[in-house]
Homo-oligomer: A and B are copies of this chain.
Amino acid sequence: MIASRFAHRASARSTLAFIGIARLAFGAGCAARQGDPLPSWSDTAPKAAIVKFVEEVTREGSVEFVPVSERIAVFDNDGTLWCEYPVPLQAAFAFDEIRRRAPNEPQLAADPMVQALLAGDMKTLLAGAHHDGLLKILALTHAGMTTDDFDARVDAWMAAYRHPRFDRSLADLTYQPMQELLRYLRANDFKTFIVSGGGADFMRCWSEPVYEIPPEQVVGSTAQVKFELRDGTPVLVKTTEHVFVDDGPGKPVGIHEFIGRRPIACFGNSDGDQAMLEYTTIGNPRPSFGLIVHHTDAEREYAYDAHPSGSGKLTTALEEARTRGWTVVDMRGDWKRVFPVER
């Protein structure tokens, strides 16, 4: 399994490299000016604000200068770095895992929530304030196996995944402007972190080939693992104990616990990112930057905010953006391209 995992990751990395080459070839023709680090961004306010911030904090001797070790940038994942519709990738994984396993696991198939899922009864799954049915499905697919087993399942699923509307693989669902932004920040000695409500174990399977973000720079929701020696060999068994949900006020909590210092730049797309935007930008002794990706492009991607049909509700954070001076990206007008490879 380990070997297949490495092989898959190497393959995913090759795909990414190919995308990078395609992007460079394409970018050369359409970049507004030679050497533009953000060629997929329109020459509108958000791009100007990003470049201004980065140039200020990296200019040695200026009052805004921030030492390299403090250049921490945090990114939400679903809806900020890649497409979260029609359902976040991790939910799609959980649903497909149940469908794959149920025929061979009678005990699993007998669970009422599994039966609801197999019958397409989302109402039952999402009932209750805490969506207990959905949590049960997540527990059934994310605990009880070793971390190596889990990684192998995620890798296999990811390799086969195609987006239902765009018929694209995983790497092709990332936002090209955000990929450029990640690289631009890293080229200016920022350390880029994912801070997402998604499971840390799930995201760490592909963060490096997809975003060039290593596992140790992925902060996500967690449940504790248990260390065991099985036949003399160490394994880590995934449990549902000590669950930490890295969303809403949990995001600054996760940032403190995993990173241990305050970011100076924060990128999100929903009310779940509001607390980490506040933590990054309010009363920070260093210059700071906040940005919200507003999904306004039903044609090239999806349009949603106050009344989403799925994830990504954006109301209070959008309201606060005005008073805090957070940059709001109008996906339709501010991005020349959305995906690495447009159809």
Complex CA gap A204/B260 in Å reads 7
Q: CB-CB < 8 A to A191: which residues of B? A: 216
CB distance from A283 to the nearest CB of B (A): 4
Q: CB-CB < 8 A to A214: which residues of B? A: 69
Q: CB-CB < 8 A to A259: which residues of B? A: 215-216
CB distance from A182 to the nearest CB of B (A): 16
Complex CA gap A96/B114 in Å reads 56
- Asked whether A261 is an interface residue with its Cβ less than 8 Å from the other chain, the reply is yes
Q: A200-B257, A200-B260, A258-B258 are in contact. List 8 more A-B contacts (CB 8 A).
A: A69-B208, A191-B216, A204-B260, A215-B259, A216-B216, A216-B259, A216-B261, A234-B279
- Asked whether A236 is an interface residue with its Cβ less than 8 Å from the other chain, the reply is yes
CB distance from A145 to the nearest CB of B (A): 14
Given contacts A2-B285, A242-B242, A285-B3, contact A256 B218 (CB under 8 A): no
Contact B253 A225 (CB under 8 A): yes
Interchain Cβ contacts under 8 Å between A and B, 21 examples? A72-B216, A200-B257, A204-B261, A216-B260, A216-B261, A218-B260, A224-B244, A224-B257, A225-B253, A225-B256, A233-B282, A234-B275, A234-B278, A234-B282, A234-B283, A236-B252, A236-B253, A236-B256, A236-B279, A242-B242, A258-B258
- Asked whether A26 is an interface residue with its Cβ less than 8 Å from the other chain, the reply is no
Q: CB-CB < 8 A to A2: which residues of B? A: 285
Q: CB-CB < 8 A to A244: which residues of B? A: 224, 242
**CB under 8 Å from chain B, chain A span 235-272:** 236, 242, 244, 249-250, 252-253, 256-261
- Asked whether A187 is an interface residue with its Cβ less than 8 Å from the other chain, the reply is no
Complex CA gap A16/B226 in Å reads 38
With both beta carbons as reference points, the residue of chain B lying nearest to A257 in the complex is identified as B222
- Asked whether A147 is an interface residue with its Cβ less than 8 Å from the other chain, the reply is yes
Given contacts A3-B285, A244-B242, contact A260 B215 (CB under 8 A): yes
Complex CA gap A260/B215 in Å reads 5
Q: CB-CB < 8 A to A72: which residues of B? A: 216
- Asked whether A119 is an interface residue with its Cβ less than 8 Å from the other chain, the reply is no
- Asked whether A53 is an interface residue with its Cβ less than 8 Å from the other chain, the reply is no
Q: CB-CB < 8 A to A217: which residues of B? A: 216
- Asked whether A232 is an interface residue with its Cβ less than 8 Å from the other chain, the reply is yes
- Asked whether A227 is an interface residue with its Cβ less than 8 Å from the other chain, the reply is yes
Most buried by B among A208, A217, A227, A285: A227
- Asked whether A229 is an interface residue with its Cβ less than 8 Å from the other chain, the reply is yes
Contact A261 B215 (CB under 8 A): yes
